[in-house]
Structure 1
Amino acid sequence: MKKIIALLPMRAGSQRVINKNTRKINGKYLYEFVLEKLIKSDLISLILINTDISQVKQKYHNNNKIRLIERSEKLKGNCDINLVIADSIKDFEADLFIQTHVTNPLYKLETLKRAIKYYFDNINTYDSLFGVTRIYKRFWYEGAIPVNHQIESEPTTQNLTPYFEENSCFYLFSKNSFLKKNNRIGDKPKLFEIPKEESWDIDEEEDLIILEKLLSI
């Protein structure tokens, strides 16, 4: 059986949404939505939580599937996520690392399973994989300059060349791939499409309000 380690970094501070990771949504802490999926998955061997949140450390210090990593002072600010990944995986070996975010609570475990299968089935073609959302929209640069369409011709949006948004749901990579560039996205990444309804990302206060409504449907 493949050894797969999930990385779920959580920091106490948040610039745009105060105490984002520990906010309660419909009776659950935000971090529980993703963490419960990872604990439930029989494909995940171990979960590494790099954190400085006391509540999380107290709640999960006896869970055999979780290893808590004390977040160092230099990583407590708004730093590059790849520095957090490097600090998390330095003492661990696995066939695959999956880095995911508390702030993407809606993706399904089945979607993650499909991504894992695709990664291993195509390991000789791609060295990493990350979640994206396909977007058919008219984009503009500041200054009213069209990005992906012509003002003279306005095709329907479904006929536009699609753009792919990096949605942050999950990133799959090997340790070797990561160490080549110190980056979760390797030299030969696969853009893995995730359904729009699973790709919700908590980045602003309004996103939490919308999430509550989505979970109530």
Structure 2
Amino acid sequence: MTVAIVPMRHNSERVPGKNYRPLAGIPLYHHVVRTLSSVPEIDLIVIDTDSDVIFEDCAEYFPHVRLLRRPEHLRDGSIAMNDVLLNTLEQVEADLVLQTHSTNPFLKADTLSAALKLFNRCESAFDSVFSVTRLQARLWDAANRPVNHDPSILLRTQDLEPLFIENSCFFIFTPTLLRERGTRIGANPFMVEMDPLEAIDIDTEEDFSLAIAIADQGGSRA
């Protein structure tokens, strides 16, 4: 069974109420649940939350979603996500897990479907899949040292060796990997590159404003 897990906290320090704040006329988390619901490879969607608001709203609009009440000791924002996921998997039977977030409203069902098919087809070749965004820019560290370029040569940015940002849009892994290694990304992962627009993550008020602007221009599938 392939299970999609979406952890959601009621409170957010930087963007209060963001998981259920309206975006394009519906609560933010509705976007990712709608997306997951249209992925044929996903057998079950699970929301792990401490939010009464989400519990009540989800039960009304998405009765096919399984809701889990997050225990008190896992509700602090400093708790590692892997600990939250381990708790979820103690309550849900799964052969394969796709974990995503409510804060990725432009994530596409086709992207998730292709990634799941890839893992199922090539499981012997790699032990996990995660999403990334390409970065080709001149980077410097805090000590004013170039990280990925030689200032005396000054290559064009498009000619630099690309680096990849773990954008947290999705992770695909087995429960065994998480339990044995304590991580969603294994020793031999596969990176799925995403378009920066699709990979937008809402982490600040500015991010939410950007998402609203994109949705207003037709970027949302709501």
Q: TM-score, normalised by structure 1?
A: 0.95
Separation in 2, partners of 1:38, 1:44: 7
- How many Å apart are 1:64 and its aligned residue? 4.9
Separation in 2, partners of 1:20, 1:26: 13
Q: How does 1:1-16 map to 2 (within 5 A)?
A: 3-16=1-14
Separation in 1, partners of 2:30, 2:59: 15
Which residue identity does 1:139 align to in structure 2?
L
Q: Which residue of 1 aligns with 2:205?
A: 205
Instruction: State the 4+ residue runs in structure 1 displaced beyond 6 angstroms.
Output: none
- How many Å apart are 1:91 and its aligned residue? 2.7
Contact kept? 2:14, 2:204, Cα under 8 Å = yes
User: Which stretches in structure 2 are left out of the alignment for 5+ residues?
Assistant: 218-222
User: Which stretches in structure 1 are left out of the alignment for 5+ residues?
Assistant: none
**Per-residue deviation, residues 127-183 of structure 1 (Å, max 9, x unmatched):** 111000111111110121110001111000011011100011100001111111121
2:146 paired with 1:146: yes
Deviates more, 1:169-178 or 1:57-66: 57-66
2:180 paired with 1:183: no
Separation in 2, partners of 1:150, 1:84: 42
Count of residue pairs brought into register by the alignment: 215
Q: Which residue of 1 aligns with 2:220?
A: none
- How many Å apart are 1:42 and its aligned residue? 2.4
SS in 1 for 2:7: coil
Q: Which residue of 1 aligns with 2:69?
A: 70
Separation in 2, partners of 1:27, 1:64: 20
2:176 paired with 1:214: no
RMSD of Structure 2 on Structure 1 (CA): 1.3
Contact kept? 1:115, 1:192, Cα under 8 Å = yes
Q: TM-score, normalised by structure 2?
A: 0.93
